[in-house]
A and B are shown apart, each in its own frame.
Chain A
Amino acid sequence: SQQGEEDPQALSIQEGENATMNCSYKTSINNLQWYRQNSGRGLVHLILIRSNEREKHSGRLRVTLDTSKKSSSLLITASRAADTASYFCATDNDYKLSFGAGTTVTVRA
């Protein structure tokens, strides 16, 4: 069963714009992770935020976590065509990683 639910399912933006996607989950977590998947490839880890953290940055990525609402958001700033991919949140509960359905992001040149 899937733990996380991403929103929106799909997102189309112009190059240079920001992309925001959200993730909601159901149970307690140790940490929450975001991954990217390019078409036909395996998932690649982007960023991890621990349950006692509220915000984290990595390059053009900004992740927030609200454990009271059981939700997280991923912001990609100044998007590029190479950011076109599917993005998944994954909840870590005792090292068991469960993924949501993903958000497909298309960045138009």
Chain B
Amino acid sequence: DAGVIQSPRHEVTEMGQEVTLRCKPISGHNSLFWYRQTMMRGLELLIYFNNNVPIDDSGMPEDRFSAKMPNASFSTLKIQPSEPRDSAVYFCASSLNTEAFFGQGTRLTVV
């Protein structure tokens, strides 16, 4: 397996634009996590899916953020409209009830 695959690796966008981050988890894993990492706030859990169902989205900053998992092999995190304070590295991770495997992250810069 190629591991957790995230795309794009880097994204630069203008304030107000819609941004969509994508994640392909490891086949067979039943949990998927979206995290955001910044120097100021560290690694924050945004949302957690189990068997494609959102279980806990209490970490989603506000209504501008939304996440979907239409099937076991794909998830998206959308920010609309984007703001400069959304600039961060966004990680997707998947697990099968124990250790989590992380993707390489998407570095988002909103200018």
Contact = CB atoms under 8 A, between A and B. Distances in A.
Interface of A: 1-2, 31, 33, 35, 41-45, 48, 88, 90, 92, 95-102
B25 interface: no
Nearest to A45: B99
B71 interface: no
Interface of B: 4, 31, 33, 35, 42-45, 48, 50, 55-56, 59, 91, 93, 95, 97-105
Given A31-B98, A45-B99, A98 B45 contact: yes
Given A2-B43, A99-B42, 17 more contacts: A1-B59, A2-B42, A2-B44, A41-B105, A42-B93, A43-B91, A43-B102, A45-B99, A45-B101, A88-B43, A90-B100, A97-B48, A97-B93, A97-B100, A99-B35, A101-B43, A102-B42
A36 to B, nearest CB: 11
Contacts of A1: 59
Contacts of A92: 98
Nearest to A42: B102
Main secondary structure of the interface of A (DSSP, over half): strand
